Amino acid sequence: MEIKTSTGLCGEVDIPGDKSISHRSVMFGALAKGTTEITHFLQGADCLSTISCFREMGIEIENTADKILVHGKGLHGLSAPRRTLNVGNSGTTTRLISGILAGQGFESLLSGDDSLNSRPMNRIIRPLKEMGAEIESIDGSGCAPLRIRPGVLHSIDYTSTVASAQVKSAILLAGLYASGTTSVTEPVLSRNHTELMLNSFGADVAAVIHKDGSATASVRPCEELFAQKIKVPGDISSAAYFIAAGLIVPHSELLIKNVGINPTRAGLLDVVKAMGADITYLNVNSDSGEPTADLLVRSSSLKAVTVEGAAIPTLIDEIPMIAVLAAFADGTTVIRDAAELKVKETDRIKTTTEALLNMGADVTPTEDGMIIRGGNPIHGGQIDSFLDHRIAMAFAVAGLAADGLTTIKDSQCVDVSYPGFFETLQRLQGKANEN
Ligand code: S3P
Ligand 1 binding pocket, CB closer than 6 Å: 20, 92, 164-166, 169, 190-191, 316-317, 340
Q: Mean pLDDT over residues 57-69, rounded?
A: 96
Residue 65 has pLDDT above 90, yes or no: no
Q: What is the pLDDT of residues 368-402, one digit of tens each?
A: 999 999 989 999 999 999 999 999 999 999 999 99
Nearest CA to ligand 1 atom 10: 317
Residue 90 CA to ligand 1 center (angstroms) comes to 10
**Do 2-16+233-434 and 19-231 show the same overall fold?**
yes
Class of domain 2-16+233-434: alpha beta
Those residues whose C-beta lies under 8 Å from the C-beta of residue 12, and which sit 6 or more positions away, are: 254, 255, 256, 257
Pairing of strands 369-373, 253-260: unpaired
Nearest CA to ligand 1 atom 16: 164
- Minimum mean pLDDT range among 42-56, 88-102, 182-196, 278-292: 278-292
Residue of 47, 312, 316, 388 best suited for mutating to test ligand 1, as the one with most atoms within 8 Å of CB: 316
The pTM of the whole model exceeds 0.85: yes
Domains of the chain, residue spans: 2-16+233-434, 19-231
Q: What is the pLDDT of residues 334-349, one digit of tens each?
A: 999 999 999 999 999 9
Residue 434 has pLDDT above 70, yes or no: no
Is residue 88 very low, low, confident or very high in pLDDT (cuts 50, 70, 90)?
very high
Paired with 109 in beta bridges are 147
Catalytic site includes residue 317: yes
Give CA separation, 89 vs 11, 162, 224, 392, in Å: 32, 21, 30, 15
Residue of 92, 393, 417 best suited for mutating to test ligand 1, as the one with most atoms within 8 Å of CB: 92
Report whether 388 belongs to an annotated binding site. Answer: no
- Minimum mean pLDDT range among 152-156, 197-201, 304-308, 426-430: 426-430
Query: What's the pLDDT at 433?
Result: 56
Higher pLDDT, 16 or 433: 16
Q: Which of 235, 294, 317, 388 is catalytic?
A: 317
Rounded CA separation 125/99 (Å) = 9
Residue 165 CA to ligand 1 center (angstroms) comes to 6
Q: Which atom of ligand 1 is nearest to the CA of 165?
A: 14
DSSP 76: T
What CATH number does domain 19-231 carry, 3.40.309.10, 3.90.1150.10, 3.65.10.10, 3.30.1540.20?
Answer: 3.65.10.10
CA 31 from centroid of its chain's CA atoms? 22
Q: Mean pLDDT over residues 414-428, rounded?
A: 97
Q: What's the mean per-residue pLDDT of the chain?
A: 97
Query: What's the pLDDT at 421?
Result: 98
Q: Which atom of ligand 1 is nearest to the CA of 164?
A: 14
What share of the chain in percent tops pLDDT 70?
Answer: 99
Residue of 89, 191, 235 best suited for mutating to test ligand 1, as the one with most atoms within 8 Å of CB: 191
Q: Mean pLDDT over residues 155-182, rounded?
A: 97
Report whether 412 belongs to an annotated binding site. Answer: no
Query: What's the pLDDT at 432?
Result: 58
Burial 15-25 (b: 16+ CB within 10 A, else e): bbbbbbbbbbb
Q: What is the pLDDT of residues 268-316, one digit of tens each?
A: 999 999 999 999 999 999 877 899 999 999 999 999 999 999 999 999 9
Residue 46 has pLDDT above 80, yes or no: yes
